[in-house]
């Protein structure tokens, strides 16, 4: 409890994601179909903007997401190596990941869903939709969805970021000589023509690690192009590639995997267009593909033993449409998707998914926002299912909003869940059925130009919950549809900005999340991989002080999971800059805490970094 009170005293860092409401009304949340201004949303959506990312002492998208209330980021390795992301107490498989609205979650295992080939310098904002999102995005958005939106500026420019850092700790015996250190460089090039815009993003990261066999090297490339043929017809393109090679000691099978190494490559492509066929009717077709190669080496220097190779491919085609009428907005659409894998310990598998949706949004009743719809899905493994949902919000008094949401959602088992053959550690279960859930949520929000407060409560019931379990240490883990999983929680957040003088300002954000998971009916001899990992307490916040060209950000996050000891992580960034450039110094985990988020991977203790950003106008 002392740590919790100390976290509030320091004003924790995650609530930095609660953006200044003077800017939010300009942001449009597309949700793939019906476009809605953020201020008119009836869902629990949180944003992190590029301005906020620039304030944070972070090195990767994974670390940025740890600054979202209700999001649980469990990193196996720092510097963007690998992370499992879950929302409001769900498992990491139950959160859908998207890039500019394109689904990029990995079908082999969600351990690879955060292989995103986008440098931080190319990100405009990150949208986090909490709660069942099947009605909005289709399958696998059981507890929510995270959509990463890249920049589409109308001004030509080049943005460059370079950084280097170290713990100044000496390397472990057998891990070479010197100290643990590394660096990164990122470039975002925005080119603008009369009727077109092109974004190129490049990134490279090279760290020799933070403990034995924890080095990481990655490089990434990203492209986004938008072409306006005329006012009614537009084309958009997206492509990216990432290669990440890292030491994987303790990632999956500690302590025997001390010499493990992993190489992951991800490539993706998407092409879409929009066509305004009449004053009120538009069509939005899109095709996309994602490929992932995973080379896991249990012995990094012996490729003839205990090596796993996986190659997955996903092709998707969708057609979205919107109809604006006097009684409201309608959305209709179709989606078709093929998924396949070729693997040394999963086999050669394929499956298909087809979905259709319809939704209706209206503000016809005074001060009432209403959105209702359903998604109907057919999967070759799980058959037919339907996922209805309703979002409603009532605007009462100046700047107050009361919202209610109810909906259903689903998660189809991954290829790893179904077919893995990795004896003696883990084996799949081809008899698994999909997880299905119902959830309702109520929230109250009050927002002014320089002050905001919100609170909410949700209750979720997952049927056929999938957990990896075993009844003896001598047998492998195997996933089972282990009955029902019930969880409820509440959250509260407050933030304010003060203008102390013409040259000085102070802003703070605080949030607290509490989750209560109903006990699963496991036998006494059953060991679970997932249930004991549920997040229970999360206190987050930030303090940002500005004086002339100086800025100081202090943050902390206090977390406690079921059956785990709580921990407090405190971060600091000191920045000096002007309109086109800035330099900064970071101290992460300032209090030098020892902590583990997942598996047997101790994360970095105190780490120092310096960096610089420069923006060239073209």
- β-bridge mates for residue 182, sequence order: 165, 207
CA distances (Å), 319 to each of 73, 105, 216, 334, in order?
A: 33, 20, 39, 5
Peptide bond into 424 cis (omega under 30): yes
Q: Would you list the DSSP string of 29-86?
A: E-TTSS-EEGGG--S-EEEEEHHHHHHS--SSHHHHHTTSTTEEEEEEETTTTEEEEE
Neighbours of 595 (CB within 10 A): 16
- pLDDT per position as a tens digit, 454-474: 999 999 999 999 988 888 878
363: CB partners within 8 A, 6+ apart: 40, 328, 369, 370
Question: Does position 20 have pLDDT exceeding 80, yes or no?
Answer: no
Query: What one-character DSSP code corresponds to residue 94?
Result: G
Measured CA to CA, the distance from residue 104 to residue 134 in angstroms comes to 15
Average pLDDT, the chain: 89
Closest CA to 226 of 192, 202, 201: 192
Question: Does position 211 have pLDDT exceeding 70, yes or no?
Answer: yes
* Phi–psi pair at 110, nearest 5 degrees: -70, -5
181: CB partners within 8 A, 6+ apart: 164, 165, 166, 167, 207, 208
Q: Would you list the DSSP string of 465-512?
A: -EEEEESSTTS-BEEEE-S-EEEEEEEEEEEEEEE-SSSEEEEEEEEE
Considering only CA atoms, give the Rg of the chain: 23
Q: What is the tally of helices (H) and strands (E) in the chain?
A: 6, 36
Q: Which two tokens stand for residue 14?
A: 């995650």
Q: Which helix (H) or strand (E) holds 518?
A: none
Neighbours of 376 (CB within 10 A): 15
Measured CA to CA, the distance from residue 438 to residue 461 in angstroms comes to 5
Peptide bond into 255 cis (omega under 30): yes
The answer to whether domain 2-617 has CATH 2.40.170.20 is: yes
Among the listed ranges 18-22, 126-130, 229-233, 344-348, which one has the minimum average pLDDT value?
18-22
- pLDDT per position as a tens digit, 252-274: 888 889 999 999 999 999 999 99
Q: Stretch 391-409: mean pLDDT, rounded?
A: 91
* Size (the chain), residues: 618
Model pLDDT, residue 77:
81
Measured CA to CA, the distance from residue 509 to residue 142 in angstroms comes to 28
Q: Which two tokens stand for residue 424?
A: 């003696």
Measured CA to CA, the distance from residue 143 to residue 9 in angstroms comes to 31
Model pLDDT, residue 1:
44
Measured CA to CA, the distance from residue 510 to residue 14 in angstroms comes to 8
Model pLDDT, residue 6:
39
Pairing of strands 347-362, 328-343: antiparallel
Q: Which helix (H) or strand (E) holds 257?
A: none
- pLDDT per position as a tens digit, 413-458: 999 999 999 887 889 999 999 999 999 999 999 988 889 999 999 9
């Amino acid at each position: 409890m002392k740590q919790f009170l100390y976290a509030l005293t320091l004003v924790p860092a995650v609530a930095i994601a609660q953006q200044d409401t003077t800017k939010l009304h300009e942001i449009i949340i597309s949700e793939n179909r019906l476009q809605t201004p953020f201020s008119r949303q009836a869902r629990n959506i949180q944003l992190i903007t590029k301005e906020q990312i620039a304030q944070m002492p972070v090195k990767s998208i994974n670390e940025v997401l740890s600054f979202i209330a209700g999001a649980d980021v469990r990193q196996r390795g720092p510097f963007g190596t690998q992370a499992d992301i879950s929302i409001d107490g769900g498992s990491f498989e139950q959160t859908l990941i998207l890039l500019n609205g394109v689904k990029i979650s990995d079908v082999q295992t969600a351990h690879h869903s955060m292989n995103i080939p986008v440098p931080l310098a190319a990100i405009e904002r990150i949208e986090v939709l909490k709660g069942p999102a099947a009605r909005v995005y289709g399958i696998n958005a059981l507890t929510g969805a995270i959509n990463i939106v890249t920049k589409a500026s109308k001004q030509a420019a080049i943005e460059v970021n370079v950084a280097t850092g170290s713990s100044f700790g000496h390397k472990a015996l057998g891990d070479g000589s010197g100290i643990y250190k590394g660096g990164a460089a990122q470039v975002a090039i925005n080119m603008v023509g009369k009727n077109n815009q092109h974004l190129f993003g490049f990134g490279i990261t090279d760290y020799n690690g933070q403990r034995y066999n924890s080095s990481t090297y990655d490089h990434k490339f990203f492209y986004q192009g938008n072409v306006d043929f005329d006012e009614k017809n537009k084309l958009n393109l997206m492509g990216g590639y990432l290669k990440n090679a890292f030491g994987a000691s303790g990632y999956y099978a500690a302590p025997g995997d001390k010499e493990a190494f992993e190489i992951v490559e991800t490539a993706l492509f998407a092409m879409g267009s929009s066509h305004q066929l009449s004053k009120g009717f538009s069509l939005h077709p899109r095709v996309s593909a994602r490929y992932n190669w995973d080379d896991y080496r249990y012995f990094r220097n012996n490729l003839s033993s205990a090596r796993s190779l996986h190659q997955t491919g996903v092709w998707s085609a969708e057609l979205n449409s919107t109809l604006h009428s006097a009684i409201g907005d309608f959305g209709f659409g179709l989606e078709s998707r093929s998924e396949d894998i070729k693997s040394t310990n999963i086999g050669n598998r394929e499956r298909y998914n087809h979905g259709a949706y319809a939704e209706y949004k209206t503000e016809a009743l005074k001060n009432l926002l209403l959105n209702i719809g359903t998604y109907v899905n057919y999967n070759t493994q799980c058959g037919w299912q339907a996922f209805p949902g309703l979002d409603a919000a009532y605007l009462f008094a100046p700047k107050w909003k009361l919202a209610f949401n109810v909906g259903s959602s689903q998660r189809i088992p991954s290829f790893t869940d179904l077919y893995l053959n990795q004896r003696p550690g883990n084996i799949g279960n081809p008899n698994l059925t999909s997880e299905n859930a119902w959830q309702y949520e109520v929230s109250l929000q009050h927002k002014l130009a320089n002050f905001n407060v919100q609170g909410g409560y949700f209750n979720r019931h997952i049927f056929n919950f999938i957990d990896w379990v075993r009844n003896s240490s001598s047998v492998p883990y195997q996933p089972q549809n282990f009955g029902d999983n019930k969880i409820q929680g509440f959250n509260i957040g407050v933030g304010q900005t003060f203008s102390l003088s013409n040259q000085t300002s102070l802003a703070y954000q605080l949030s607290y999340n509490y989750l209560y998971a109903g006990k699963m009916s496991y036998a006494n001899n059953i060991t679970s991989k997932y249930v004991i990992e549920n997040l229970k307490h999360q206190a987050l916040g930030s303090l940002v002080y500005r004086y002339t060209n100086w800025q100081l950000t202090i943050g902390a996050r206090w977390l406690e999971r079921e059956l785990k000891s709580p921990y407090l992580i405190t971060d600091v960034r000191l920045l000096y800059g002007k309109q086109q450039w800035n330099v900064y110094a970071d101290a992460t985990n300032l209090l030098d805490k020892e902590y583990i988020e997942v598996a047997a991977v101790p994360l970095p203790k105190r780490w120092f970094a310096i960096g610089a950003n420069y923006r060239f106008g073209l």
